[in-house]
Structure 1
Amino acid sequence: MSKKLFKSTAIVSVMTMLSRILGFIRDMLLARIFGVNAGTDAFFVAFKIPNFLRRLFAEGAFAQAFVPVLSDYKEQGSNAALRAFLDRTAGSLALVLMLVSIVGMIAAPVLITLFAPGFLWEEKQYDLAVQMLRITFPYLFFISSVAFAGGILNSHGKFAVPAFTPVFLNLCMIAAAIWLSPLMAEPVVALAWGVFAAGLVQLLFQFPALWRLGLVPRLRWGFGDKGVRKIMALMLPAIFGVSITQINLLLDTLIASFLPSGSVSWLYYSDRLVEFPLGVFGIALATVILPELSKNHAAKNAQGFSQSLDWGLRLVLLIGMPASLGLMLLAEPMLTTLFQYEEFGADDVIMAGHSLKAYALGLLGFILVKILVPGFTSRKDTKTPVKFGIYAMIANMGLNVALVFPLAHAGLALATSLGAFFNASLLLGTLLKKRIYQPGPAWRLFILRIILANEVMAVFLYKFVDSRWWLGWSVYDRVVQLFVWIALGALVYLMVLLLSGFRIRHLSAAKGMTVQS
């Protein structure tokens, strides 16, 4: 089991890494061409709203509701029943998405007022944000349809195509920044058109893979279908439960719109760096583990269910903890290497560095939530993550108020990180209390080895790396030196792990463990 999961996770991680690298290239171009100003703040808000909905659907609530029901049809139903279920789900989803997209475009001024009320004091910035949101909002229709197609492919063990699809978002935005923006009266609006084009391209890219499986859906009216009703019942609470981190990030943007100009952009660029390990590893692992958990639950295999969770949690600590420390210790070198060119100055690096360190502190919590929520939704329990999500959001809002005054935009990032850990602790505690998850053997020794390796790596990077070096280097030297120090940090971490006795087999739970349903 663990070899199969590891292979699938590796495939998704490689594809996602390609997308994230292109994303960094995209953001380097945005920083170089557009800088940090009121226009970029307006675009990032207009992009964040449909992008939030992308996370909610493509990587969140829809997958959490759709995949378990689809697994039931695969395990228990006929091929004809499966196709009818997919046709009715596709038709119902398309109708809802079309209506929501139309309403969203009409209500763009209201949405900008809700998500960035600080823009109301800057009329030009507010109007620009409204204009770009009307262009980007249809992205919701396209990317949610992509999520539907991706759920089908993932459930059939086809992870590569859905994982590669986000590459097209970066390619379209890069093309818009380079070739379309010089032709427009307001250059930054070209980025909004890039987002729109990306949604259409990503949807078209799914069809060949679905065609090969013989599962291209035909749109059918299906709100009365039993499976569709079950998805809707699971999806409504899952929208909140699985996407609490993204809701907290939107709250950060809302409050940041009242802070000095550039605050939204500093949060965006720091969040982008945290999104790299979160996407390459955290979301990839969550994508792979959800179908496995759903299959085990449908087959009433409680032991396999717990072992899958155990494997995922061990992998989270093994990779997530050093990634978090690395982001904190190399924050300024990373920002300088990627973004400090032309319009993005040294002061921007310092300010974005503050929020990057705060977000990086919560990386482990963000990943844990991604892995733990499927432990509930795969069992068709969406109410528990919702309840804990509400608690976490309330805690995050309180922390926002407490931390924004002394720490400004970095306080917002820190509040989001702390909220993620609070949410993860509630989820894990419940899985343990109900004995849905029973830890495998030697967890204490495993954790001690991870902590020791991380401590040695942190001391090494703190003692031998000076972020001021990057200021005087060329682009080539910055990139080379950054990769060298990341590689050295990873090497130190791995060497200490191996010397402490860690082996890859320690990721797997014992075969003989017993688990109660």
Structure 2
Amino acid sequence: MLKSGIVVSSMTLISRVLGLVRDVVVANLMGAGAAADVFFFANKIPNFLRRLFAEGAFAQAFVPVLTEVKAHQDKAELEDFVAKVSGTLGAIVFITAIVGVVLSPVLAALFGTGWFIDYLNDEPDGANFELASVMLKITFPYIFFISLTGFAGAVLNTLNKFAVAAFTPVLLNLSIIACAWLFAERLEQPAFALAWGVFIGGIVQLLFQLPFLYRAGLLVKPKWGWRDPNVTKVRILMIPALFGVSVSQINLLLDTLIASFLMTGSISWLYYSDRLLEFPLGLFGIAIATVILPALSRNHVGKDNQGFKNNLDWAFKIICLLGIPAATALVLLAFPLLMVIFQRGEFSVVDAQMASYSLIAYGSGLLGFMLVKILAPAFYARQDTRTPVKYGIITMATNMLFNLIFAIPFGYVGLAIATAMSGTLNAILLYQRLHRQGIYKLRRDTLSFIIKVVLASIFMGISIYIFNLNFAWGSTNLMARVNMLIKLVVLGISVFAISLILVGIRPSHLKIQKSI
């Protein structure tokens, strides 16, 4: 699993780096103005549905059932199951895409209520509503292509071919960058070039994965199979998971709705800070979650309770080892990171400062977000989707309450605070449930390991803070900033690594334990 995790993490690193390059292009092109707000808005809704139909609820429901079919049935039945799932999923998301295109003005009014009210009152920001309606027509079909891409990736992951699915998002980033470079200056509204990049990227990603499915012998003709017993099982598992696994995305949509009432730039500042949050979350949290779900599913199907606990404990330790120092560094280096990566063109120093506040708030919840990625699969591998959805409802309600509490005094930063707090609560609830059911509880050696990681992260944080104390990020040139950030990163990694050794952590502690 460690080898597979490194493969996924490496591919994800390439994707995230190109994602940052894409965001640099967007920041340089549009900064944090009204057009940027609209593009991020129009991209967020299909991305939310992507988390439901592709990477999120569908994968969590599909992989355990696919693992069961693969273990207990022959190749012909496996091919028939894949055909029926692909046909059923494809038909549903195709209809969803068409409905989304037709009802794009309704969606723009629903999730961009502030803009819609301005439109009705003939205010200047009302133009954002019209632009969002048109842009949604371009970006919404992405849900069809990326859902089938997610399906193909889930099949390949179950076959332990993790690299293909992990690399695929690179093609989306390349598509958006290419469209921005080729068409932005030729269009009256540059944001449309980015929207077309999303559309084309969805097609390219799907086409890229098809040959790998063919080589695996599972590129089969799609069939409608709504009432097939195994498809029904996926459907039953997926319905509650649609909510449970995507709570964070629903919270982000609620943030967007509230942010549309706030000052111009709020949506963009939240977006840029969220993008930097997604870097370690994808690189570490999602990478480990990707390899842990098939492993836990095999443990459950094989009735290997000991292996289930061992694998989950290993994932918990790895997440803490990577997540705690990542969260510490993200909070301390929020402004420097934004200055180095985005501050150019239309993206000003003020934009970097404003986005850094929400990044600090998001960073405080990074460990919680990462833990959810491995704790929720512990339920899905056991084909229990009800428990995560129950806690998802609690988390969403809590997030709405926190939004009301913090948005008024702190604006968009309050939305980020609410998201971080609710994400952490979700992780706590999931762990407590696993503990009460006797499925998993932290071992003493794991708790000791986590305490040592915290100590090493504190030493790292102190060194970064002192070294960075007197550097004027807002009044130096780009090369000086890059040079200083590199020094801070090298210093942080070095201090953290040395501190781990001093507190007694060794490579052997990262192996999967054989006993509870």
Fold shared per TM-score above 0.5: yes
Q: Deviations over 1:371-406 (max 9, x none)?
A: 110010111100000000000011111000000111
User: How far, CA to CA, are the matches of 1:479 and 1:512 in structure 2?
Assistant: 46
Q: In structure 1, what is the Cα distance between the partners aligned to 2:273 and 2:4?
A: 29
Map of 1:83 onto structure 2:
79
- Distance change >3 Å, CA 186–CA 7, structure 1 → 2: same
Asked whether the equivalents of residues 69 and 227 of structure 1 are also in contact (C-alpha less than 8 Å), the reply is yes
Residue among 350, 353, 364 paired with 1:350: 353
Aligned amino acid, residue 272 of structure 1: R
Offset at residue 509 of structure 1 (A): 4.7
**1:50-449 paired onto structure 2 within 5 Å:** 50-120=46-116, 121=118, 122-449=125-452
Letter of the 1:288 counterpart? V
SS at match of 1:442: helix
RMSD, matched Cα? 1.2
Q: CA deviation at 1:439?
A: 3.0
Give the deviation of 1:179 after TM superposition: 0.9
Instruction: State which drifts further: 484-493 or 439-448.
Output: 439-448
Cα shift readout 1:311-342 (whole Å, capped 9, x = no counterpart): 00001111000000100100110000011112
Instruction: Give the one of 477, 482, 487 matched to 1:479.
Output: 482
Q: Is the 8 A contact 2:463 2:491 kept in 1?
A: no
Q: Does 1:25 align with 2:17?
A: no
One-letter amino acid of the counterpart of residue 16, structure 2: R
Deviation at 1:361, TM superposition (A): 0.4
Q: CA deviation at 1:507?
A: 2.8
Deviation at 1:467, TM superposition (A): 7.3
> How many Å separate the matches in 2 of 1:7 and 1:215?
25
Shift of 1:448: 2.1
Runs of 5+ consecutive residues of structure 2 not aligned to the other structure: 119-124
Supply the distance in 2 between the matched residues of 1:44 and 1:445 (Cα, whole angstroms): 42
Aligned-partner Cα distance in 1 for 2:58–2:483: 40
Q: C-alpha separation between the residues in 1 aligned to 2:220 and 2:274?
A: 36
Question: Offset of 1:146 from its aligned partner?
Answer: 0.5
Identity among equivalent positions (%) equals 50
**Residue matched to 2:122:** none
State TM-score, norm by structure 2: 0.97
* Superposed displacement of residue 56, structure 1: 2.6
| Contact 1:241 1:386 (8 Å CA) reproduced | yes
User: Match for 1:221: what amino acid?
Assistant: W
Q: Distance in 2 between matches of 1:61 and 1:496?
A: 39
Mean Cα deviation higher: 216-225 or 132-141: 216-225
Query: Could you tell me which amino acid in structure 2 is paired with residue 352 of structure 1?
Result: A
Tell me which amino acid in the other structure corresponds to 1:32.
N
Distance 2:384 2:417 in 1: 30
- Change in Cα spacing, 1:249 to 1:467, as seen in structure 2 (3 Å) is farther
Partner residue of 2:121? none
2:44 corresponds to which letter in structure 1? K
Which of 42, 45, 52 is 2:41 aligned to?
45
Structure-1 separation of matches of 2:470 and 2:232: 55
Q: Is the 8 Å Cα contact of residues 310 and 515 (structure 2) preserved in structure 1?
A: no
Which amino acid in the other structure matches residue 93 of structure 1? L
Deviation at 1:19, TM superposition (A): 0.6
Is 1:499 aligned to residue 499 of structure 2?
Answer: no
The one-character-per-residue Cα deviations of 1:279-314 (angstroms, maximum 9, x if unpaired) are 111111111100001111011111111111100000
Find the residue that maps to 2:388 and give its secondary structure.
Answer: helix
2:9 corresponds to which of 5, 13, 27: 13
Asked if 2 retains the 8 angstrom alpha-carbon contact of 1:282 and 1:316, the reply is: yes
Decide whether the 8 Å contact of 2:16 with 2:279 is kept in 1. Answer: yes
Q: Which amino acid aligns with 1:362?
A: G
**2 CA distance for matches of 1:402 and 1:220?**
49
CA distance in 1, matches of 2:20, 2:487: 18
User: Conserved in 2, the CA contact under 8 Å of 1:278 and 1:363?
Assistant: yes
Report the CA distance shift for 1:407/1:468 in structure 2 as closer, same or farther (over 3 A).
farther
- Secondary structure in 2 aligned to 1:498? helix
Structure 1 pair 433/508, CA: closer, same or farther in 2 (3 Å)?
farther
Structure 1 residue 436: Cα displacement: 0.7
Partners of 1:446 and 1:185 lie apart in 2 by: 56
Of 267-276 and 179-188, deviating more is 179-188
- Aligned partners of 2:332, 2:319: CA distance in 1, in Å? 19
Shift of 1:479: 2.4
Offset at residue 194 of structure 1 (A)? 0.5
- Counterpart amino acid of residue 80 in structure 1: A
**Letter of the structure 2 residue corresponding to residue 366 of structure 1:** F
Q: 5+ residue gaps in structure 1? A: none
CA separation of 1:462/1:248 partners in 2, compared to 1, >3 Å: closer, same or farther?
Answer: same
Cα deviation, residue 347, structure 1: 1.0
TM-score if structure 1 supplies the norm length? 0.97
Change beyond 3 A, Cα 1:467–1:12: farther
Distance 2:259 2:310 in 1: 42
